[in-house]
Chains A and B, each alone.
Chain A
């Protein structure tokens, strides 16, 4: 997929697994660096301040490059709908949260008797989830059937948030609240199904 068409990092292969690998590699490098640091003090020597100042400059430049690339390269991958003005969602799902339950309903119907459980989404659909809350702040977190987190967005009362996601695999997907919303927070979950029917 072209980087500028991707809706999120996972579509380019940089999902949570990539982040985990990055963390592991970073941790290992740090461990090696600290072990080397420890052993270096067993062979104390005078330091060449001129060289050190040069290394400091090189290190600074390297940090600037790393962090600039890490930040700028992801600007097009923000999951916010307004970051993808060229994308027309296949369908829109209204998501209404309330302590401690979820309601998914067709666009513009918002809760009540319109709640559909489990909600059906055709595979391949690019879905715009529009979320709102009737009471307190919740977190709309979506997991696949293997338990891996796919995306999330905050659900705040009196505000409407939204997020885009394209479902490429059929199966059951689970919604779990990812913002502490009261003592029943851990019980707030539901599911929806991505069906084989095409969009």
Chain B
């Protein structure tokens, strides 16, 4: 599959490596920016835990209800938006050239995406620093009616306007990103197999089916004539479609918020506003997770030296996840009885569909590892741990996705536990695994220390899982989330005295997670300030892993190698057969020529 792009009818440019230095540079910037925001948002969480454990007076100006509200707003936004968006942007921009072998359609858009997001999101964080604190999900009309605390109105219209303007700017980066994704995925300008393979259906509808995994549901006669996109690309396309479907109503909500901040009456009622919020804020939680699942499907065959039993199972979950990721949103409104009944029932069944799709994926991945020669490298361990977090969080999410049971769980710490299992112990762990794996390739630097990486892995797991299990225990006790002081001397609960142990444990495990990032940061610092070396590219699929040592390595100058690979039948990263080959590597770093 030679990779070329015709930028204009008269200017045909043959690209030697679709992963250009320029793309790598911006992928790095997105990922560094994401992890910077992760560290900042994590530190904010640490102060929240300190507040709740009753130790706030030990750390000076913190320890008021107002600061707690600002912290919980900034922390949630920092993780769901500030970390997740740039991470996904960076990862997806890596996925296309790496696994689809296509140069990005217009890589000059990358700095635009970065700048829009950077400017917008830091306006959002600035608004929280100035007092804005309605929570990371801002239910109308709270952003405009802060309510007095100690006779003081904690935020006003200026902070609200800053927040909404920042969110609009940050979200506009999503539209540019989506353009880049769709253009790269579907443009007919690329002269490769997806557009030109003889005997295959390369129509736009066929490409679309191949890009979302819908071929799994087609008759054999039809699906064998459609080229499936690589799993990581399918995941990237699906998450982008979900976000772009849900972006217009959310943008309307933000615009309405900006108007109300400027003393306009606005045009959305509170129920519609809540719908417009969650129709976007639910898919947000999948924005990074879907591409990371795509990376599971890409890397776990490599780590286990095995291919999937069939392409159908590989792709079957994606159309389900595409539909349910948005359709599920109304489960956030289970307790609004004025929400149309049909939406509640739809959301409940969509929640089950998400669990079903996740169940298929987890089984497929675990079956691949089962009795394989799984390579427990650092990245491989991160991925397995994150699948564990995904399953545990999924069990809890299934309970919460049932409207009848949600009356016990909604807005308790079970919800906090659910998204810490899925977020911290699922998405973040997977993100670390992928980051450890791809950093050498995009930076030209070898990781400074494997030991520091191991320390990072184990301490993050202990802290992350400890924290989420502790939240689960609190949730089943009935502790409400977002309480500045769950134990309140004015509250006539005697039972709340039992909360103290769990609040202290939450602080302990949060400190553990925070401490775990120190070796990571030091390792990253030493790595990036270390010497630049020639790094072999990681294999894009199990097929590439099987290249004999004597063959050209699939690295920086690997266009020829890739071409020869494709000549023997590699199909865009899909892995056709065989029960694995013997590898002995235990190194998480990009492979050396160690294939037997």
Partner of A182, one of B69, B412, B476: B69
Closest to B360 in A: A60
CA distance A143 to B335 in the complex (A): 16
CB of A78 to closest CB in B, whole Å: 5
Partner of B146, one of A22, A37, A70, A183: A183
Q: Which one of B69, B147, B372, B486 has the highest number of Cβ atoms from chain A below 10 Å of its Cβ?
A: B147
Contact present for A67 and B355 (CB under 8 Å): yes
Please indicate the chain B residues that have their CB under 8 angstroms from the CB of A157 in the complex.
141, 270
Is residue B480 within 8 Å, beta carbon to beta carbon, of the partner chain? yes
Partner of A30, one of B141, B372, B391: B391
CA distance A153 to B146 in the complex (A): 22
Please indicate the chain B residues that have their CB under 8 angstroms from the CB of A49 in the complex.
309-310, 579
Partner of B66, one of A147, A161, A183: A183
Please indicate the chain A residues that have their CB under 8 angstroms from the CB of B134 in the complex.
180, 182
Contact present for B309 and A153 (CB under 8 Å): no
Contact present for A63 and B338 (CB under 8 Å): no
Size class of the A contact interface (CB-based, 8 Å): 35 or more
Contact present for B482 and A180 (CB under 8 Å): yes
Partner of B370, one of A37, A64, A80: A37
Contact present for A186 and B399 (CB under 8 Å): no
Is residue B337 within 8 Å, beta carbon to beta carbon, of the partner chain? yes
Contact present for A26 and B313 (CB under 8 Å): no
Please indicate the chain B residues that have their CB under 8 angstroms from the CB of A182 in the complex.
69, 134, 142, 145-147, 149, 154
Is residue B384 within 8 Å, beta carbon to beta carbon, of the partner chain? yes
Interface Cβ pair total, 8 Å cutoff? 252
User: CB-defined interface of B385-401 with A at 8 Å, one 1/0 digit per residue?
Assistant: 00010011001101100
Is residue B374 within 8 Å, beta carbon to beta carbon, of the partner chain? yes
CA distance A16 to B405 in the complex (A): 8
* Given A16-B408, A163-B337, A185-B482: A70 in contact with B352 (beta carbons within 8 A): yes
Beyond contacts A40-B370, A67-B353, A78-B403: 13 other A-B pairs, Cβ-Cβ < 8 A, are: A47-B306, A53-B313, A63-B356, A63-B360, A137-B139, A143-B493, A149-B408, A152-B411, A161-B337, A176-B491, A181-B142, A183-B66, A185-B484
What are 5 A-B pairs at a CB distance below 8 A? Answer: A23-B472, A47-B370, A59-B359, A158-B270, A185-B69
A interface residues with partner B (beta carbon < 8 Å) = 8-10, 14-16, 19-20, 22-23, 26-27, 30, 33-34, 37, 40-41, 43-47, 49, 52-53, 55-56, 59-60, 63-64, 67-68, 70-71, 74-75, 77-83, 99-100, 135-137, 139, 141, 143, 146-149, 151-154, 156-163, 172, 174, 176-187, 189, 191
- Sorted from nearest, which 7 A-B pairs have the closest CB atoms? A147-B495, A182-B147, A99-B147, A149-B478, A74-B404, A67-B352, A77-B404
